[in-house]
Amino acid sequence: MATGPLADVALSSARLTGDDVTVDVTIESQGETVTVTGTARGRWVGECRRCLETTGGEVDVQLSEVFEPHPVEGETYPLGRDALDLEPLLREAFALALPLAPLCDEACAGPDPEAHPVRTEEAEPPADPRWSALDSLRFE
Least gap, CB of 46 to Zn ion (angstroms): 11
Interface stretch with Zn ion, choices 14-22, 77-85, 103-111, 127-135 (CB under 5 A): 103-111
d(CA 27, CA 21): 18
**Nearer of residues 40 and 104 to Zn ion, judged by Cβ:** 104
CA distance 140 to 136: 12
Between residues 85 and 112, which has the closer beta carbon with respect to Zn ion? 112
Total of residues contacting Zn ion (CB under 5 A): 5
**In whole angstroms, how far apart are CA 87 and each of 3, 7, 94, 135?**
11, 10, 10, 75
Closest distance of CB 29 from Zn ion, Å: 46
Per DSSP bridges, beta strands 33-47 and 20-30 are antiparallel
* Mask for 46-85, x = binds Zn ion (CB under 5 A): --x-xx----------------------------------
33 to 52, contacts with Zn ion by CB under 5 A?
A: 48, 50-51
Q: What are phi and psi of 72, to 5 degrees?
A: -95, 120
Cβ distance to Zn ion smaller for residue 6 or 104? 104
- C-beta closer to Zn ion: residue 6 or 51: 51
**Sign (positive or negative) of CA dihedral 6, 7, 11, 16:** positive
What are the residues whose beta carbons fall under 8 Å from the beta carbon of 75, sequence distance 6 or more? 66
Nearer to Zn ion, 41 or 49 (CB): 49
Footprint of Zn ion (CB under 5 A): 48, 50-51, 104, 108
